Every structure is written in C-alpha cells, then in structure tokens.
C-alpha cells in the first residue's frame, strides 16, 4: 500500500533516503537534526558517495535508515531509478520492515510515478505455490509513505500498476487452471455491476456456426472449450467509433504436431500473455473510467497434441472466407488472431485495431527481451504508440511493413499459408503481414511481446522478477487514455 505525505516525519520503522551524486551537503533540508548530522558526516567521510545503486544502512533510534544513491541526475534515467529503488525495497535491510517512509530526491511527477512503479511492479513476485516462510506474517503487507504531495495522477499510476499485476497473476498461474473458463470468470468479475459494459461469448458451438474455423483448428487437440470473448465498453458517446484491442490467448502451446523441444516448452503457459494483457487493460479502463469506446477482444484456445489435433498440410477456411494452408502447427497464434480480427472488423467496424501477442521467436532474435516489436499500417498510429511506450517505459520498436511481404505468405493450394520465408527469415514481419490480411483495411497495429512478456531466469530482468512482466499493459492503457 502506498500513501503520500507533504513532509518527512521519520515515524516509520524504516526510512529510505534517495540521494543524488555530486551535490553539496545542504541537500538534506529535513528537520531531523541527528539524521542530518549522520548523513552529512557519512558523505564527508567518503564511505557513501551516492553512486547509482549504492546502498548504505544506518541505525538511528532503533529505526533503519537506508541511504540510496541514484547517481548524477543528468545521467540517471527513470528506468535506472526504478531498478535502484526496487533493489532498495528488496534489500535484506528492509526484510522485516512493514512501515517505510521514502524521501525522494526531487518532486518531479515522473520521478514519483517511477518510484510507485518500482514498488508495486518491482517488488511483485508469484508466491501462490510457495510455503510461507517463518519470517512471513500472515495477511501482512508493506506500507510505504512517499514524501510528496498527493496527486490524482499518482492514484492513476497505482491503479495502472494493479492492472499490470493482475495480468502477471493470470500468466503465472498453472496452465491447467488458467483455461478459457477461468479467464472468462475473471473478465465477468471485472465487469460485474458496471454500467455501459456488455459481454459476448462465442464458445465452440458458436464459433463453428459462424465459421471461425482457424480458431477451432488450433483447439482441435484440446478438451478445453475455445472462446472468443468481446467486452464492449461505452465510455464516450454512442456515436463515437470503437478502438478494438485483441489479445492472443493460447493457454498452453505445445506447438501441436510440430512439437516444441525441451527448453522451449516449459514456459508456454505464457502464450496467453496477449489476452492477459487485455484483461489488465480492461481493469485499468474501468478503474480510470476512460472516456473512450473500446472493444476488448480475447481469442482463447489451447494448442496441444492429440488424435484430433490439426496437422501440417491441412487447409482451413477462415471467418473472412480466405483459405489458409497450415505450414506449421506452432504458428497457431496468428490463426486465432486472424479469425478474431476479421470477426471484429466485420461485425463491430472499429476505427482502429490493435492486437497484442507472444507471436514469434523471431522477435526475440531481432529485439531481445526489453523491446516489443511494433508493426503498423499507419505512420501516425505507430508514432502515437511509440510515444506511449516512451512515456511508460513499456518499450516498443517499430518494424517495417511493405507490399512485397504479401508474396511470402502465398500458398500454392490456398489463399495464404501461416508461415513465411524459409528458415524463419523475417519471421516477425511476415507473421504480422498474415494478420494484416484480415483487418479489412482498418488502421491496425500489432505488438509482438514474445521477448518482453516473460522473464525465465531467476535473477530477474530490469525491475521485473522471475515470471510474467505485464508487457503492453502500461503502453496500451496510456495510448487509450491519451489518443
């Protein structure tokens, strides 16, 4: 829990002081004379220089005081600040502290928001299946009082972080728990009792009746129900057009008959990260009461092997009417998204479509783990999304889309095939081109979060712990709020 106070009171069990490097001792203007004298003496001794990431503990009247260096202001990014503040919160010095006062080095709004994210996003960890340790206190929580005037934008930042962490909970959950029915339950609970919100659910029977055969093909090997869910949110005038946000929700991906090898299959519960992100964005939209009309679209299936599983070489007719040859059953997410995109385009006619998906390993090769790939049909649309990514540190990098890509996904026996060039060349942009074929000419953007959605090493990455990151939630919440 986070609260705000206009001045430091030094009344908590632990105090965290953020300090810039290279400033004079007069930087400490707070009223606690004893603490001021000790910190100044420490700086003068050279034992603490406020270098970025440096942490030095003091004990004052049985209180823990943590001096945290953030380096020189001109050389410190907000991302680095989040990493440093997270390290302080997770340090062994604060392990038993349940009440913490944090004194920031400045009052800039962007700085306070970064500190909020460092705490709420940075200290998150998935502990549902861990036994409680002897130091854990049942039902306890850490309360942080930030020395800064309270602003509505800070409350908004807290709400957005809660949406991010809901997304992470969904992704981190066991694949046999977070199946389509489970996700539907989460969505129904979010919108329960909300005005101007409606839900449409297409299960196997409805998907078959309406001809969403690509979606059904992916799910053929599974006993779990496939679902296309659409939440219609009316935050603006009914005359205003909708923006559709479509999430890939493969609750587990074995690769199908093209089975993934050991080393690639273990974290495939995270292949529903796109749908989970849309759940988080829905939560944020409701919490912020956005004055926009938005469609939240969840394309959910499970791609597993079995006697009924679809096979390479099969051809299916999509909802749009285009036929698709299956070149690889592990290129399944684009099939579910293709039917979802064309269904929404034809039946709801949104002004813009954004899809978000853990779509291609090629995106990881191209951009690594810190940037999502962005492909867009419109330059202004792309610039707006990149601006939101920069504002939120939910990073994205635009990749090209061009006419010749269409040639690479043509099939000799169908209209299209679900794989592009040999050996995975241009895998991210050819997968995006496949999706573009189903957008009905509506301005469209695609976020490939294959690299950014999940951290699979125990050391964590940036200010994320092991597991899901909630990639795309902050970016698209900001875009929807400000577009």
pLDDT of residue 188 exceeding 60: yes
Confidence of residue 26 (pLDDT cuts 50, 70, 90): low
pLDDT of residue 218 exceeding 90: yes
Q: What is the mean pLDDT of residues 211-224?
A: 98
- Please tell me the least confidently modeled range out of 89-98, 164-173, 208-217, 385-394: 89-98
Q: 416 and 321 in contact (C-beta within 8 Å)? A: no
pLDDT single digits (tens) 400-449: 999 999 999 999 999 999 999 988 899 999 999 999 999 999 999 999 99
pLDDT single digits (tens) 245-287: 999 999 999 999 999 999 999 999 999 999 999 999 999 999 9
Domain-terminating residue out of 99, 125, 150: 150
- The pLDDT value given to residue 139: 42
150 is catalytic: no
Domain-terminating residue out of 109, 126, 150: 150
Kindly state the percentage of the chain with pLDDT values over 70.
Answer: 97
Q: What is the mean pLDDT of residues 100-129?
A: 96
Q: 469 and 402 in contact (C-beta within 8 Å)? A: no
Residues 51, 52, 56: CA angle, nearest 5 degrees: 65
Number of domains in the chain: 2
Confidence of residue 138 (pLDDT cuts 50, 70, 90): very low
**138 vs 255 pLDDT, higher one:** 255
Q: What is the mean pLDDT of residues 160-180?
A: 98
Statement to judge: residues 174 and 137 lie in one domain:
no
334 is catalytic: yes
Statement to judge: residues 111 and 168 lie in one domain:
no
Which residue in the list 334, 352, 395, 436 is annotated as catalytic? 334
Which uninterrupted H or E stretch holds 353? strand 352-357
Statement to judge: residues 34 and 171 lie in one domain:
no
Statement to judge: residues 364 and 424 lie in one domain:
yes
Kindly state the percentage of the chain with pLDDT values over 90.
Answer: 88
- The pLDDT value given to residue 137: 46
Statement to judge: residues 194 and 95 lie in one domain:
no
pLDDT single digits (tens) 310-364: 999 999 999 999 999 999 999 999 999 999 999 999 999 999 999 999 999 999 9
pLDDT single digits (tens) 56-71: 999 988 899 999 999 9
What average pLDDT does the chain have?
A: 95
Q: 427 and 357 in contact (C-beta within 8 Å)? A: no
CATH number of the domain at 49, please.
3.40.220.10
459: closest CA among 80, 71, 87? 87
Cα(458)–Cα(466) distance, rounded to whole angstroms? 5
Statement to judge: residues 323 and 258 lie in one domain:
yes
Q: Which domain holds residue 99?
A: 2-150
Statement to judge: residues 171 and 279 lie in one domain:
yes
Q: 397 and 372 in contact (C-beta within 8 Å)? A: yes
Statement to judge: residues 139 and 178 lie in one domain:
no
The count of other CB atoms within 10 Å of the CB of residue 344 is: 26
Which residue in the list 260, 292, 398, 461 is annotated as catalytic? 260
Statement to judge: residues 44 and 192 lie in one domain:
no
């Amino acid at each position: 829990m986070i609260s705000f106070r206009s001045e430091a009171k030094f009344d908590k069990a632990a105090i965290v002081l953020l300090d810039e490097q290279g400033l004079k001792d007069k930087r400490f203007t707070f009223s606690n004379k004893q603490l001021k004298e000790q910190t100044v003496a420490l700086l003068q001794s050279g034992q603490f220089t406020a270098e970025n990431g440096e942490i030095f503990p003091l004990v004052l009247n049985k209180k823990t005081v943590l001096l945290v260096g953030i380096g020189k202001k001109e050389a410190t990014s907000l991302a680095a600040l989040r990493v440093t503040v997270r390290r302080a919160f997770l340090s062994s010095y604060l392990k038993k502290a349940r009440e913490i006062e944090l004194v920031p080095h400045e009052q800039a709004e962007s700085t306070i928001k970064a500190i909020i994210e460092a705490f709420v996003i940075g200290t998150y960890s998935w502990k549902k299946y861990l036994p409680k340790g002897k130091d854990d206190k049942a039902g306890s929580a850490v309360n942080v009082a930030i020395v800064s005037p309270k602003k509505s934008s800070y409350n908004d930042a807290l709400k957005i972080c809660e949406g991010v962490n809901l997304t992470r909970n969904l992704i981190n959950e066991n694949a046999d728990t977070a199946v389509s029915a489970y996700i539907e339950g989460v969505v129904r609970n979010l919108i329960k009792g909300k005005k101007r919100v409606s839900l449409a659910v297409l299960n196997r029977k409805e998907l078959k009746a309406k001809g969403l055969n690509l979606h059904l093909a992916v799910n053929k090997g599974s006993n779990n129900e496939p679902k296309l869910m659409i939440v219609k949110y009316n935050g603006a005038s009914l005359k205003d057009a909708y923006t559709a946000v479509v999430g890939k929700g493969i609750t587990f991906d074995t690769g199908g008959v093209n089975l993934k090898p050991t080393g690639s299959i273990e974290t495939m519960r995270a292949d529903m990260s796109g749908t989970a992100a849309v759940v988080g964005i829905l939560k944020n939209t409701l919490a912020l009461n956005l004055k926009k009309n938005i469609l939240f679209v969840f394309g959910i299936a499970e791609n597993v092997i079995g006697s009924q599983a679809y096979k390479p070489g099969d051809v299916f007719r999509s909802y749009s009417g285009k036929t698709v040859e299956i070149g690889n059953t592990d290129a399944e997410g684009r099939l579910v998204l293709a039917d979802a995109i064309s269904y929404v385009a034809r039946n709801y006619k949104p002004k813009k479509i954004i899809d978000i998906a853990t779509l291609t390993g090629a995106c990881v090769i191209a951009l690594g783990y810190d940037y999502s790939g962005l492909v867009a049909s419109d330059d202004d649309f792309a610039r707006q999304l990149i601006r939101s990514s920069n504002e939120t540190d939910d990073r994205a990098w635009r990749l090209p889309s061009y006419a010749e890509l269409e040639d690479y996904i043509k099939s000799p026996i169908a209209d299209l095939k679900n794989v592009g060039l040999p050996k995975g060349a241009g895998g991210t942009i050819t997968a995006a081109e496949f999706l573009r074929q189903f957008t009905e000419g509506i301005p469209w953007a695609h976020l490939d979060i294959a690299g950014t959605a999940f951290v699979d090493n125990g050391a964590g990455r940036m200010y994320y712990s092991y597991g899901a990151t909630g990639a795309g939630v902050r970016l698209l919440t900001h875009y929807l709020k400000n577009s």
